[in-house]
Structure 1
Amino acid sequence: MILIKNGRLIDPKTQFDAVCDLLIEDDKIIEIGENLSAEDAKIIDATGKVIAPGLIDVHVHFREPGQTHKEDIHTGSLAAARGGFTTVVMMANTNPTVSTVETLTEVLESAAREDIHIKSVATITDKFDGQTLTDFESLLKAGAVGFSDDGIPFTDASKVREAMRLAVANDTVLSLHEEDPQLTDVLGINDGAIAHKCGVTGAPTVSEYSMVARDAMLALDTKARVHFQHLSAGESVDVVRFAKSLGANVTAEVTPQHFSITENAILTHNTMAKLNPPLRRESDIAKLIVGLQDGTIDVIATDHAPHTLAEKDQAITKAPSGMTGLETSLSLGLTHLVAPGHLTLMALLEKMTVNPANLYAFDAGYIAVGGPADLVIFDAEKSAVVSNDFASKASNSPFVGETLQGIITHTICDGQIVYQA
C-alpha cells in the first residue's frame, strides 16, 4: 500500500482540484479523502505538491530496434518515468520499421519488461515506401494502437485517402507528419532570416500548413480519425480550427519546444535546436498558444528524439533533427504556459493526460477510486537548472543550462514507485 498525504489532487477529466489524501493498493486507487490512514502503508508526504494523473506522451522515439546507440526501450522508459510519464506511444521509424507483425511483436515484448506502459504504432506504408499499405487488421490484432509514417510525409494524396479509408474500416487513427518535401530545402531550420544567416534555405511554414490543409479536407471527406503531429506553423492552427468547424474528426499536438523557443535558438544552440518541423517565429508561438487555449490543439507531445552528441556535432545541413524531450516536458509547460498565465495548471495537465488518453482510448489519464494507480507528484513552484545528466542515453537538448519551473518528486505506475527524486 501507498498512502499519499496532503497533496493538491488535480484530475482534468472531472475538473477536481482539492487538497486531500489518496490510498493505493496493488495497481488501483482504493480511496480518496481527507485524513486517511492505513496500517503498514508507505507514506508519501505531498504537502505543497501536486498529485496528477501519470503523464501520457503519444509521440516518442525509443530507437529500438536498429538505432540503440541513441536510445533503447529501457533507457527511454527511464527517461519517461523521470519526466512523470506512465504511458508512452513509440513511433515506428526504427530499423527495420514497425511494418510487420514480427517486428511489432519484438518491440512490444521488449516494452512489456519495463515499469511503465509502452505502446507502439505501426507504419501506414511498408518500410515507409509511401505506397504499399500495411496490414492494418493484423497489426491491430498484434497490439498496434494506431498508424503513422512519422518522419516521412505523404506526397501522394490518393494514397493518403486510401489509407484513411482503410483506417475507417478498421476503426483506428492515423497520425501524420506534415512537411511537403517539394517545398523544402534544408529540413530542420525555418526558412527565413536565421536560415539565410546560416547560409541555407530552410523549411517554410507553407510546407507544413499546405499539407495539413490537404489532409484535413481528406479527413473530412473520408470521415477518418486523423491526428496532426507537432504543429509548428501558426497557419496550421488556423487550418485545423477550420477543419474542426466543418466537422472533420481531427486532432492536433504541439511539442513543448515549439511553444517555448523560436528559430533564434539556432544561433545560440546550433544543431541542438535543429528540429523537424523547425522552430518558428514569435508570431507562430502566439498562434500555437491560442490553439492550446481554445482547444484547437488537443495534446502536448514531446517528439522525444534522442541523438548522440557526435551525430549532432556536424554541419547544420548534415546533423539529424530532433531533441531529447521527455525529462523537460512538464517543466517547459509550467514555465512557458502556466507561469505567464497562458494556461491554467488544470488546462496544461488536460493536454498531457486525459486528452492523449482519449486519442487512443487508453484506460489512463484520470484519477478515481477504482482507477489505475498511475500518478505523478511534482512541486509546481520550485525551479531548477536543466543539467545534461539525463536518464536518456542522449543529452541533445537546447534547454541544457536553462532554469525551468517544476520539480518531479515521484512517478507511480501500476501502484509502484518507478521514479523518486
Structure 2
Amino acid sequence: MTQLLITGAATADGNRTDLFVRDGVFAPPSEAGADVERIDADGLLALPGLVDLHTHLREPGREDAETVATGTAAAARGGFTAVHAMANTDPVTDTAEAAEYVLGLGEREGHCQVVPVGAVTKGLAGEELAELGLMATSRARVRMFSDDGRCVSDSLLMRRALTYARTYGGVIAQHSQDPRLAGPGACCHESEISGRLGLPGWPSQAESVIVARDVQLAELAGARLHVCHVSTAESVDVIRWAKRRGIAVTAEVTPHHLLLDTPLVEGFDTTFKVNPPLRTSEHLEAVREALADGTIDAVATDHAPHARQDKDHPFDIALPGMLGLEQALAVVAEVMVNTGRMDWPTLVERMSATPARIGRLAGQGRPVAVGEPANLVLVDPAARAVVDGAASASRSRNNPYHGRELPDPVVATIWAGTVTYRR
C-alpha cells in the first residue's frame, strides 16, 4: 500500500495539519519514515473525498459513451472517491447478478469506489418491481434503488417499492417527472423561451406534483425517499414542508441546476439539453438557497455522458444529459463558497458526509483524522482555469462548462490510500 506524507495542509475549518497515509488509513504523522513520499500541501485544503449519489457510467451496454474506467477517472479528476452507478445500463441493473457485475467492474477497473444502484422496476418499465431484496442481500449490498431517467409513476408500485426498500435499510431515489405533464417530447423549461423557440415545454409543476405525492407515500410506508436532481422552487417548498412534518426525505441538486439557466438553450446547442431541463433564474435562486440552508441535502452530478451521434441531432430529439464529475466541485465553489452562501465545512457536508450517509457508505465521508479511511481530496481554493472539454478524462465531450472560466480546485485525489489523480 502507498505510504504518503502530506505536509502543511489545512482542514475545512482552517486548522493546519500534516497527514500520513499508511495501509489505506490515516496514521500518526510522527510515524512517517524519512524516505516516505511527500506532498507539500502548503496553501491547500485537505477535504474528505467527495461522494456522488448520481453517476451514469454507461457500462455495460454503451461503452462508446463511457466506461467504468473512464468515468471513474473523471470522478477522480473531480475529487470523488465514491460514485453511485445508476441502473439504466444495458442490461438494466435489475437483478443481483447484474449488480454484482457492476460491482466487479468497479473493483477491477475503477479509480474510485463504484456503488451499484439497483432498478426499482424490471427493465425500468414501471410495471413490476425488480429484485430489490436479492440485490440488497447480494455481495453488491445495494442500498439505493432508482429508475432514474424514468419516473415510477404508478402510485401503488411506488408505495410497494418504498415498503420493500425500508425492509433492507434502503432508499428509493425518484426521478420526479409526471409523464403526462412532461411527456417524452418535453425538452425545455416551459416559459416564454420555449414558446418562442417552438420547443415542447416542461412546466415546473411536472416535477413538484410527483415530489408531493412521493413524500406522502414515504410517510405512509415509513420509508426513506430521496429526490433526484431537484430543479424547481415548487419542489423546494414541498421538501421543506415534508421535513417539517418529520418525513424521511432527502434531496439532491446538480451543479448545472445551480449555475446554468434556460437562456442557454436559445442557440439550440444540444449540450444544454438535460433532464430535468435548465430552469429560469428564480428557480436557480430557490435551489441555491435550499442547498445553503440544508433543505436540499446534497450535491449530485447526474454525470450523463453521451456519444457524439446521440447529441448530434435537432434539439428536441437529441438525448438529454451532460458531463458533471470533473467540474462539480468547481461549480459549487463558484456559486456557493465564493459568493459567501456556504463555507468549506458546509460544502464537505453537502458533497461528502451527507451523500455517504444517504448511500449507507460506512468508509466514505469520514473526517480527515488518524484512524479514518484515507479518502481525501487536496484542494487549491484560489486556482482558476478555462474549462477545456477536449481534455476531459471522460470518453464523451458533452461538457456544458467548455470555454467557461471556473475554479480549478482539485490538486490530488486519494482513494483508500492510493493516489488516483494528481495534477
Shorter-chain TM-score: which interval? over 0.9
Once residues 84 and 355 of structure 1 are traced to their aligned partners in structure 2, the CA distance between those partners, rounded to angstroms, is 16
Once residues 223 and 154 of structure 1 are traced to their aligned partners in structure 2, the CA distance between those partners, rounded to angstroms, is 18
Once residues 178 and 258 of structure 1 are traced to their aligned partners in structure 2, the CA distance between those partners, rounded to angstroms, is 15
Report the CA distance between 1:195 and its aligned residue: 1.4
Hey, what does 1:13 align to over in structure 2? none
Segment drifting more, 110-119 vs 274-283: 110-119
Residue 92, structure 1, aligned to residue 91, structure 2: no
Report the CA distance between 1:193 and its aligned residue: 1.5
SS of aligned partner of 2:202 = coil
Hey, what does 1:302 align to over in structure 2? 301
SS of aligned partner of 2:180 = helix
Q: TM-score, normalised by structure 2?
A: 0.95
Q: TM-score, normalised by structure 1?
A: 0.96
Partner AA of 1:319 in structure 2: A
Residue 65, structure 1, aligned to residue 60, structure 2: yes
Once residues 28 and 269 of structure 1 are traced to their aligned partners in structure 2, the CA distance between those partners, rounded to angstroms, is 48
Partner AA of 2:275 in structure 1: N
Deviations 1:326-380 (A, max 9, x none): 0010000111111111111221221000000110221211222111111001211
Identity %: 36
Q: Would you say how many aligned residue pairs link Structure 1 and Structure 2? A: 414
Of residues 120, 123, 127, the one that matches 1:131 is 127
Hey, what does 2:100 align to over in structure 1? 105
Residue 394, structure 1, aligned to residue 379, structure 2: no
Partner AA of 2:126 in structure 1: G
Unaligned runs of 5+ in 1: 11-15
Once residues 36 and 383 of structure 1 are traced to their aligned partners in structure 2, the CA distance between those partners, rounded to angstroms, is 35
Report the CA distance between 1:36 and its aligned residue: 8.2
Residue 247, structure 1, aligned to residue 243, structure 2: no
Partner AA of 2:372 in structure 1: G
Note if contact 2:187-2:200 (Cα within 8 Å) is conserved in structure 1. no
Note if contact 2:186-2:199 (Cα within 8 Å) is conserved in structure 1. no
SS of aligned partner of 1:353 = helix
Q: 1:380 to 1:352 in 2, by over 3 A?
A: same
Report the CA distance between 1:242 and its aligned residue: 0.4
Note if contact 2:188-2:278 (Cα within 8 Å) is conserved in structure 1. yes
Once residues 266 and 93 of structure 1 are traced to their aligned partners in structure 2, the CA distance between those partners, rounded to angstroms, is 26
Note if contact 1:265-1:398 (Cα within 8 Å) is conserved in structure 2. no
Deviations 1:142-169 (A, max 9, x none): 2123211111102211111111111122
Note if contact 1:189-1:202 (Cα within 8 Å) is conserved in structure 2. yes
Once residues 387 and 188 of structure 1 are traced to their aligned partners in structure 2, the CA distance between those partners, rounded to angstroms, is 26
Segment drifting more, 138-147 vs 290-299: 138-147
Partner AA of 1:119 in structure 2: V
Once residues 17 and 411 of structure 1 are traced to their aligned partners in structure 2, the CA distance between those partners, rounded to angstroms, is 19
Partner AA of 2:244 in structure 1: S
CA RMSD of aligned residues (A): 1.4
Deviations 1:93-148 (A, max 9, x none): 01110011222222111111123111111111110121211222211122123211
Please give the residue correspondences for 1:172-211 in structure 2 after superposition, counting only pairs within 5 Å.
172-185=170-183, 186-211=185-210
Of residues 9, 12, 26, the one that matches 2:11 is 9
Deviations 1:167-223 (A, max 9, x none): 122221110000111002433311112212221222110000000000011111111
Please give the residue correspondences for 1:4-403 in structure 2 after superposition, counting only pairs within 5 Å.
4-10=6-12, 16-31=13-28, 38-113=33-108, 114-142=110-138, 143=140, 144-185=142-183, 186-268=185-267, 270-362=269-361, 363-366=363-366, 367-388=368-389, 389-403=391-405
Note if contact 1:21-1:36 (Cα within 8 Å) is conserved in structure 2. no
